[in-house]
């Protein structure tokens, strides 16, 4: 009987270590872009000599700037425009994203189509982050 208890105890401890080793928190990547609990994208490509990490930091700074600008408290129009081979996403008159051909590489969409997807998610996220506002795309 003591051998069986020891075996069960060892099996339980081993099982606990295996399960806790497999379960780990999901960590956000520094290149993730989200607002208001809405994940927009992960910038994975460098562009014009700027790393994806710096690009993501800049986009997050711009989103924070939109959220803290008084004229956007009631909302704004989010627009997508062609910019050479890239596409830009603006909130009112503020640039938020530049979507490059590299961002769309490996996907079945163009930079313009990808920008439209991101703009829709940005509108959802900004509207959640500022609940009394309406952001339209």
Instruction: Label each residue of 91-104 as H, E or C.
Output: ECCEEEEEECHHHH
pLDDT digits (tens, 9 = 90+) for 54-111: 999 999 999 999 999 999 999 999 999 999 999 999 999 999 999 999 999 989 999 9
The per-residue pLDDT for 25 is 65
Structure token digits, residue 91? 């909130």
Question: Which three-class secondary structure state does DSSP give residue 9?
Answer: helix
pTM of the predicted model, to two decimals? Answer: 0.79
Distance CA 100, CA 49 (A): 13
Q: What is the DSSP string of 38-87?
A: EEEEE--S-BTTB-HHHHHHHHHHHHHHHHT-GGGTTEEEEEEEEETTEE
* Position 22 pLDDT exceeds 70: no
18: confidence class by pLDDT, cuts 50, 70, 90: low
3-class state of residue 92 by DSSP: coil
Contact predicate 40/34, CB 8 Å: yes
């Amino acid at each position: 009987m003591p051998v069986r208890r020891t075996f069960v105890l060892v099996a339980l401890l081993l099982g606990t270590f295996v399960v806790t080793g497999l379960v780990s928190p999901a960590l956000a990547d520094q290149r993730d872009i989200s607002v208001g609990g809405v994940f927009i994208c992960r910038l994975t490509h460098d562009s014009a000599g700027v790393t994806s990490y710096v690009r993501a930091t800049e986009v997050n700074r711009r989103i924070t700037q939109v959220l803290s600008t008084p004229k956007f408290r009631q909302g704004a129009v989010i627009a997508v425009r062609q910019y050479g081979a890239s596409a830009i996403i603006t909130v009112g008159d503020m640039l938020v994203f530049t979507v490059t051909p590299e961002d769309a590489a490996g996907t079945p969409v163009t930079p313009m189509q990808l920008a439209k997807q991101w703009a829709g998610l940005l509108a959802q996220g900004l509207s959640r982050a500022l609940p009394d506002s309406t952001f339209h795309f």
